[in-house]
Amino acid sequence: MSQKSSFDPLSMKTAKNDHGIPFKLEYDPHKKSGGWWVPVLSILLALILCAIFIMLNGMNPITVYTKMLVGAFGSSFGLSETIVKAIPLLLCGLGVAVAYKIAVWNIGAEGQFIFGAIGATAVTIFLPNIPGALYIPLMMLAGIAGGAIWGLFTAIPRTHFQVNELITSLMLNYVALLLLDYLVYGPWRDPQGFNFPGTPEFTPYQMLANIGGTRLHFGLIFAIAAVVILAFFLAKTRWGYELRLLGANPTAAQNAGIKINKHILIVMMISGGLAGIAGAIEVSGVAGRLMYGISPGYGYTAIIVAWLAKLNPWAMIFTSLFIGGLIVGGYSVQTIGLPSSFSSMLQGAILFCLIAGEMLSRYRLKRVK
Amino acid sequence: MNNLAIDMKDIVKKFGAVVASDHVNFQVEKGEIHALLGENGAGKSTIMSMLSGIYRADSGSIFINGCLTKIRSPKESMELGIGMVHQNFRLVETLTAVENIILGEKGSTWRGANWMKKKTKEIEELAERYGLTFPSSVPVWQLSVGEQQRVEIVKTLYRGAEIIIFDEPTSVLTPLEVDQLFKTMAELKHHGKTMIITTHKLKEVMAISDRISVMRKGRMIVQTLKEDTTIQELANLMVGQEFNEGVPIESIPAGRPIIEVRDLFIATKEHNNAINRIDFTINEHEIVGIAGVAGNGQKELAESLTGLIPWTSGEIIFNNEKITVPKVKDLIDKGIAHIPENRMKSGLAGSLGIVDNLLMKSYRSTERGRFGLINKKATNQWAQQLVEQFDVRTPDLISPVGQLSGGNQQKLLFAREVDLKPKLMIAVHPTQGLDVGAARAVHELLIQLRAAGSGVLLISEDLDEIMQLSDRILVLFNGQINGIINRGQANKEAIGQLMAGLSRKDEVVYESKIVI
């Protein structure tokens, strides 16, 4: 009671409400962030907010949302497309979530994804004559390495020079993007490609096998495996415990002999590696080559996937499917006259509500007498 | 009855299921110094928070100078002439004293040089009137703690306070500064101000107050004149049981040396001679106390001995083994336990549960799991056992430890560290913020460690604690050992002088080191 920070500056600020409003918000420092209802409610709220926009366009929101739902999950084609989108989102989401667990704000999954794609493609370009069965393992490893190295470019300035990783990771996205452009417009461009900004198409050995005649590919197995492995490590191992402690109280972790910098380096390599393998899977499973605009922003969208799942690896299976469905559903509303960017708007609204919800769930609403 | 500055009647305040204030009646007469006594969690802060507008009572009424009032915000409290000097000062460190005092003042848009000059003069005059001196034009962080407190007092006076609440005002001060504060309070009383002081230090209460109120567990136990009571009686009222002067400590001959510190020198970024060539030894069965005002090297010493910061030169020999490269992990494995200064900041992770907090030092051991895994079932059993052994009151093993009381948090911390069977325990302010009962439990644990053959380095600002527990007391001043006192030879005045940088012959042993 008394030591429950009775002089908390925030509560002082909120207690100043003397304008006849019968409620006040009180910050509760011991309250953990909200439960599962926060993501669920923020999705609902975002849907309602966007419904207003739909109605302003003279359409019925129910029709639009139904159309999206059917488009994303209503047919085997839609469903497979949704899963195809969900795979990179899930892998990148896992990547950023690991970093967020220890409060390293990696928003560079986009760049790490691109670097993974570049790494995998480099194998096809520099090793044209190796046995076919070696391609996929090598490409995946190169993808992980590419993403991990790109992650280190963010981690090392943070650990050695106290550079804010938020800024470096974001800016390195543009560096990676421009490097990609240089490669596909320049040295790696397919000479027989009629000026298309992309590398030569991969050979079948360099491609991940498809599942059941759709675009759905074996990258799905990698993604699910990543969830299982990561969830196991986080929950059961000493390393997972160290991350939990670092996330909860870095000073106490230091007092327990845990080296923060070592962990930041490892975690950023894992984070980048996961985004990197997503990039490798995207070129070898979907695109079949490295090309301009290889990522439609998976690295950024993955941040929403991670937070909607409250950084829980298992829950990310569902949130990545949901967001993947949102993207695919966005294509189908084009047929009734809404721009496909409607789905980006919906994503933005969800993130907005989510952040607000997480923040506000740490406050209590109190009746004032 | 209109001689009452404050008259609180039948005040009830609940936080969830906890009744912080249970039909409390509290009266303060005009022009008196009124001490509000109680253990941590007795409800003192809750009552004071209601007066300063931070909390509102669930029921009951408050009369200020005879008028029924509702204090709905700190601003309204200020308008009623109530000022509060917080335990942790509310000052902007980079601003000067004058800027701090006029902060938030309304009614003037243009604040030119003339205006500032006028205000500075006004504030200096005000301060002088009450004998409160402090440098008014240097940033507040350069002032001593005592001076900062004076700035806080002038701030309340400047805002027209007639009733001043001091919340644990002496907890951060040296003995000399405490004397100074009491002089100031006497001066304020002379000017007709009413003062309330909350504290749990009984001797100070007897020294300064006119009347005394004692609270326990949210209830007002008694209001009495100082003349009508004794320290012994107040202590009994406060804890609600027979208070005895500390845990008995048996005399055990010291064993072989556990840690030998030779010519230790520590320079940090903030302080280039934080620890300035000190020597000491701690033996088995020995508690060595470090007395000193905060900031004289205690923090650096503790951090070095636990491997958190490197030392610059000198030698540390632990258990007959020279420590060359200090690493936190190695030192834990070698047997150094650590109760850090601020348990929630650096000892425990408030958002994690009991098990995760207990694991912190031992999760690498094979007892907790093999092959890099942590065996959940075995670990939970172990945690449950520790919780019972150390009497940590918790609803379960997973609810966040941030929700436990301070005493239970400290018990949890001790459970973790004592379970390591340490050869050396470094305890920094181990009873800070704990009530008498919890502090006693901590003292018992330290004495048990000593009996079991561990050495204890006890760093504390509580002289009673240091004098009671230590076999030897080292007084740190400016990074140097300014005096060594053995058990039985200690007296408070002597330690106080050594803490303030005076030698035992009352001569100043240091030259002013302030170079700008």
The domains located in chain B, with CATH, are 4-239 (3.40.50.300), 247-335+421-510 (3.40.50.300), 345-408 (no CATH)
Q: Higher model confidence: residue A247 or residue B364?
A: A247
Distance from CA of A319 to the nearest CA of B (A): 25
Q: Do B88 and A7 touch (CB under 8 A)?
A: yes
Q: Alpha-carbon distance B349 to B338, whole Å? A: 15
Q: Alpha-carbon distance B500 to B173, whole Å? A: 11
Strand ranges for B176-218 from DSSP E: 194-199, 211-216
Of A16, A241, A242, the CB nearest to B75: A16
Q: Do B43 and A1 touch (CB under 8 A)?
A: yes
Residue B156 has pLDDT above 80, yes or no: yes
Restricting to A residues 13-42, those with a Cβ less than 8 Å away from any Cβ of B are 15-18, 29-30, 32
Q: Kindly state the tokens that stand for B19.
A: 């009744």
Of A2, A238, A253, the CB nearest to B372: A238
Question: What are the C-alpha distances in Å from B192 to residues A306, B6, B80, B187, B207?
Answer: 62, 15, 16, 9, 19
Distance from CA of A19 to the nearest CA of B (A): 11
Which CATH code, of 3.30.920, 1.10.3470, 1.20.144, 1.20.120, is assigned to A68-337?
1.10.3470
A232 in B contact zone (CB under 8 Å)? no
| B350-375 average pLDDT score | 84
Side chain identity, residue B91: L
Number of Cα atoms under 13 Å in the Cβ half of residue B94: 0
| Residue A354: closest CA among A68, A36, A82 | A36
B92 in A contact zone (CB under 8 Å)? no
A364 in B contact zone (CB under 8 Å)? no
What ipTM describes this predicted complex?
0.80
Of B308, B373, B405, the CB nearest to A254: B308
* Nearest-Cα residue of chain B relative to residue A8: B54
Q: For position A318, what pLDDT does the model report?
A: 95
Of B40, B74, B349, the CB nearest to A245: B349
Q: Which residues of A are less than 8 Å from B427 in CB distance? A: none
Contact A114, A180 (CB under 8 A): yes
* Nearest-Cα residue of chain A relative to residue B304: A255
Average pLDDT, chain B: 83
Side chain identity, residue A238: R
Q: Kindly state the tokens that stand for B372.
A: 């890099």
Q: Which residues of B are less than 8 Å from A244 in CB distance? A: 352, 356
Q: Which residues of A are less than 8 Å from B352 in CB distance? A: 244-245, 248-249
Among A1-5, B136-140, B441-445, which stretch is predicted with the lowest mean pLDDT?
A: A1-5
Domain ranges of chain A: 68-337
A245 in B contact zone (CB under 8 Å)? yes
Give residue B483's region: left, alpha or beta (phi > 0; psi -120 to 50).
left
Q: For position A184, what pLDDT does the model report?
A: 92
Restricting to A residues 251-280, those with a Cβ less than 8 Å away from any Cβ of B are 251-257
**B280-311: per-residue pLDDT in tens?**
989 889 999 998 776 788 888 998 899 888 88
Number of Cα atoms under 13 Å in the Cβ half of residue B161: 27
Q: For position A7, what pLDDT does the model report?
A: 37
Determine the residue among B12, B44, B54 to mutate to test chain A binding: the one whose Cβ has the most chain A Cβ atoms within 10 Å: B54
Residue B149 has pLDDT above 90, yes or no: no
DSSP type of residue B286: E
| B240-262 average pLDDT score | 74
**B13-39: per-residue pLDDT in tens?**
887 656 778 889 999 998 899 999 876
Distance from CA of B325 to the nearest CA of A (A): 14
Q: Alpha-carbon distance A37 to A45, whole Å? A: 12
Q: Alpha-carbon distance B124 to A14, whole Å? A: 33
Q: Which residues of B are less than 8 Å from A26 in CB distance? A: none
Determine the residue among B44, B72, B78 to mutate to test chain A binding: the one whose Cβ has the most chain A Cβ atoms within 10 Å: B72
Q: Do A241 and B405 touch (CB under 8 A)?
A: no
Q: Alpha-carbon distance B199 to B40, whole Å? A: 9
Pairing assessment for the beta strands B59-64 and B211-216 based on DSSP bridges? unpaired
Restricting to B residues 389-408, those with a Cβ less than 8 Å away from any Cβ of A are 400, 402-403, 405-406
Q: Alpha-carbon distance A86 to B274, whole Å? A: 56
* Nearest-Cα residue of chain A relative to residue B435: A3
Contact B413, B430 (CB under 8 A): no
**A208-231: per-residue pLDDT in tens?**
888 877 788 889 999 999 999 999
Among A5-19, A110-124, B237-251, which stretch is predicted with the lowest mean pLDDT?
A: A5-19
Determine the residue among B103, B167, B363, B403 to mutate to test chain A binding: the one whose Cβ has the most chain A Cβ atoms within 10 Å: B363
Q: For position B431, what pLDDT does the model report?
A: 85
Q: Alpha-carbon distance A71 to A167, whole Å? A: 37
B438 in A contact zone (CB under 8 Å)? no
| B71-79 average pLDDT score | 85
Q: Which residues of A are less than 8 Å from B53 in CB distance? A: 15
Q: Which of A11-20, A218-227, B394-403, B441-450 has the highest mean pLDDT?
A: A218-227
Q: Kindly state the tokens that stand for B426.
A: 């470094």
How many other β-carbons are positioned within 10 Å of the β-carbon of residue B423?
19
Q: Which residues of A are less than 8 Å from B306 in CB distance? A: 255
Distance from CA of A277 to the nearest CA of B (A): 26
User: Among residues of chain B, what percentage have pLDDT more than 70?
Assistant: 91
pTM equals 0.72
Q: For position B440, what pLDDT does the model report?
A: 84
Q: Kindly state the tokens that stand for B67.
A: 């008028």
Distance from CA of B73 to the nearest CA of A (A): 5
Q: Do A252 and B20 touch (CB under 8 A)?
A: no
- Token look-up 């008498």 returns B436
Of B18, B56, B328, the CB nearest to A369: B56
* Nearest-Cα residue of chain A relative to residue B333: A257
Contact B166, B44 (CB under 8 A): no
**A23-77: per-residue pLDDT in tens?**
777 776 555 556 788 889 999 999 999 999 889 888 889 989 998 999 899 888 8
**A147-196: per-residue pLDDT in tens?**
999 999 999 999 999 899 999 999 999 999 999 999 999 899 888 888 88
User: Among residues of chain A, what percentage have pLDDT more than 90?
Assistant: 55
Q: Kindly state the tokens that stand for B327.
A: 């690493």
Contact B154, B127 (CB under 8 A): yes
Q: Do B373 and A1 touch (CB under 8 A)?
A: no
Distance of CA A3 to the CA centre of its chain: 39
Among A42-46, B11-15, B454-458, B506-510, which stretch is predicted with the lowest mean pLDDT?
A: B506-510
Q: For position B503, what pLDDT does the model report?
A: 62
**B383-413: per-residue pLDDT in tens?**
998 888 888 887 788 888 887 777 788 889 9
How many other β-carbons are positioned within 10 Å of the β-carbon of residue A183?
20
Model confidence band, residue B143 (pLDDT cutoffs 50, 70, 90)? confident
Side chain identity, residue B98: V
Model confidence band, residue B106 (pLDDT cutoffs 50, 70, 90)? low
Q: Which residues of A are less than 8 Å from B345 in CB distance? A: 249, 251-252
Q: Do A256 and B328 touch (CB under 8 A)?
A: yes
Backbone angles phi, psi at A228, to 5 degrees: -60, -50
Task: Return the axis-axis angle of helices A219-236 and A313-332, rounded to nearest 10°.
Answer: 150
| A346-366 average pLDDT score | 85
Residues whose CB falls within 8 Å of the CB of residue B113, separated by 6 or more in sequence, listed in order: none
Q: Which residues of A are less than 8 Å from B18 in CB distance? A: 1
Q: Do B74 and A368 touch (CB under 8 A)?
A: no
Q: Alpha-carbon distance B187 to B272, whole Å? A: 40
Q: Do A245 and B433 touch (CB under 8 A)?
A: no
Side chain identity, residue B435: D
Q: Which residues of A are less than 8 Å from B103 in CB distance? A: none
Model confidence band, residue B243 (pLDDT cutoffs 50, 70, 90)? very low
* Nearest-Cα residue of chain A relative to residue B43: A2
Q: How many CB pairs below 8 A link A and B?
A: 126
Q: Do A3 and B433 touch (CB under 8 A)?
A: yes
Helix (H, G, I), strand (E, B) or coil at B171: coil
Q: Alpha-carbon distance A10 to A110, whole Å? A: 36
Residue A89 has pLDDT above 90, yes or no: yes
Give residue A56's region: left, alpha or beta (phi > 0; psi -120 to 50).
alpha
